[in-house]
Each structure stands twice: as structure tokens, then as C-alpha cells.
């Protein structure tokens, strides 16, 4: 994903004017590997479109362990839904796993545009639908799949993460230990 225009090109209902309106409220930023986009405990109503790089959202469980909740890569939206939808402090921290370029938007500015423009409102609804679909999919994998099936699901749905994300982060995302993930990987090779 090279530019914001490339990203929004996948939404044919948006006009050139719509793109200009959206671009006017966004700011392209670069982040180093390890930098934080959102820190848990803060309320930040911002979202981003990742042009280059990779993020991980994680939370700390009651044992003090980091649990990877989601990963986002090029062409995907990055946000803390607690803050955006409920104006609550984030329960998650979002960190950059790679050198990244992201266009950052203030959610209230996007909401304002959506209230004035039906096509931008349609875009906002698309983002919300995608959030709900991904949340449902993630919930189903934990309720219905074994660890091996969750690993296979990840390979089938997002194989690039297997190469780009550290094993310990993938393991916590799958709800297993790094040792268990290593066993699953070895089992697949035989």
C-alpha cells in the first residue's frame, strides 16, 4: 500500500472530492519499530490507516502477561475501539512491530465528515462492519476451534503474519504457549 489514495481506491462509491475531504483531516506519520500508537489507560479518539508496517494490539492479563489481541498490516485500519466507540480509556496498547507509515485521523473529524456526506458515512459503516466481522471471527475461533485448528485458521486467513510476527506474540494471539506453537509447527512439517 503506497498511498492513502491507493487505499481508498477500493471503495468505488467515493468520489475524488470525498478523498480530498478525508485526506484534509489526516496526517501521515512515521513510527519506529517498538513505538506506541496508543497506550493502555489513555483515551485517544484516533484511528489510522496503515500504509506500511505492522502493529500489534495487546493487553496485560491478571498474571502480568502480554496477550496479543490483534495484528494489523498494510491497508488495514488501526484503532482502539474502547476509546472511539465509548470514550473509555483503552484496555489495549497498540505498538508498531516494524518501521511503519500510517495516516492518522481524529475520529471526531471523520464523524463530522460522515454526518455531512453519505458516501463517507457509508465508508464509516464499512469500517464498523469489518470490525464486527473480525471480532465475530476471532470469538468463534476460540469457542469452536482447537489450538491446532486456530493455527491452521491463521495460516489460511493471514499467512503473512507467520513470517512477520515473533513466535511469542503469535502464541499468545492463538491462546497457547510458545512451546505449544513450536510443537504445532513441527507437527505440520512432518
Residue 13: give the domain boundaries: 4-116
Q: How far apart are the first and last CA of the chain?
A: 36
Residue 75 to residue 16: CA distance in whole angstroms: 19
Domain count of the chain? 1
Domain CATH for 41? 2.60.120.10
178 in a structural domain: no
* pLDDT for the residue numbered 23: 93
164 in a structural domain: no
131 in a structural domain: no
Q: What is the pLDDT of residues 87-122, one digit of tens each?
A: 899 999 999 999 999 999 999 999 999 999 999 999
In total, the chain counts a number of residues equal to 190
Residues 6+ apart with CB under 8 A from 2: 51
126 in a structural domain: no
Q: What is the pLDDT of residues 34-53, one digit of tens each?
A: 999 999 999 988 999 999 99
What percentage of residues in the chain have a pLDDT greater than 90? 84
132 in a structural domain: no
Q: What is the pLDDT of residues 54-96, one digit of tens each?
A: 999 999 999 999 999 999 999 999 998 888 888 899 999 999 9
54 in a structural domain: yes
pLDDT at 30 over 80: yes
Position with higher pLDDT, 6 vs 156: 156
Residue 129 to residue 105: CA distance in whole angstroms: 19
CA dist list (Å): 34 to 111, 120, 172: 30, 32, 18
- pLDDT band at 1, cuts 50/70/90? low
pTM for this prediction = 0.91
Please, where are the H alpha helices in the chain?
A: 4-8, 16-24, 81-86, 107-116, 118-144, 147-157, 160-164, 167-174, 178-189
172 in a structural domain: no
Q: In the sheet that 77-79 helps form, which strands lie side by side, from edge to edge?
A: 26-31, 100-106, 46-52, 77-79
11 in a structural domain: yes
Amino acid at each position: 500500500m503506497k498511498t492513502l489514495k491507493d487505499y481508498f481506491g477500493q471503495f468505488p462509491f467515493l468520489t475524488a472530492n470525498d478523498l480530498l475531504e478525508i485526506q484534509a483531516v489526516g496526517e501521515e506519520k512515521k513510527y519506529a519499530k517498538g513505538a506506541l500508537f496508543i497506550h493502555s489507560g489513555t483515551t485517544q479518539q484516533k484511528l489510522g490507516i496503515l500504509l506500511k508496517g505492522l502493529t500489534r494490539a495487546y493487553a496485560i492479563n491478571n498474571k502480568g502477561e502480554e496477550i496479543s489481541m490483534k495484528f494489523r498490516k498494510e491497508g488495514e485500519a488501526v484503532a482502539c475501539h474502547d476509546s472511539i466507540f465509548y470514550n473509555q480509556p483503552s484496555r489495549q496498547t497498540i505498538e508498531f512491530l516494524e518501521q511503519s507509515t500510517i495516516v492518522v485521523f481524529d475520529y471526531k473529524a471523520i464523524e463530522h465528515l460522515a454526518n455531512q456526506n453519505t458516501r463517507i458515512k457509508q465508508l464509516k459503516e464499512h469500517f464498523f462492519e469489518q470490525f464486527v466481522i473480525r471480532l465475530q471471527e476471532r470469538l468463534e475461533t476460540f469457542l469452536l476451534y482447537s489450538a491446532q485448528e486456530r493455527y491452521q485458521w491463521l495460516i489460511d486467513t493471514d499467512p503473512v503474519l507467520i513470517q512477520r510476527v515473533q513466535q511469542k506474540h503469535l502464541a499468545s494471539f492463538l491462546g497457547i504457549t510458545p512451546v505449544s506453537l513450536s510443537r504445532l509447527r513441527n507437527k505440520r512439517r512432518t
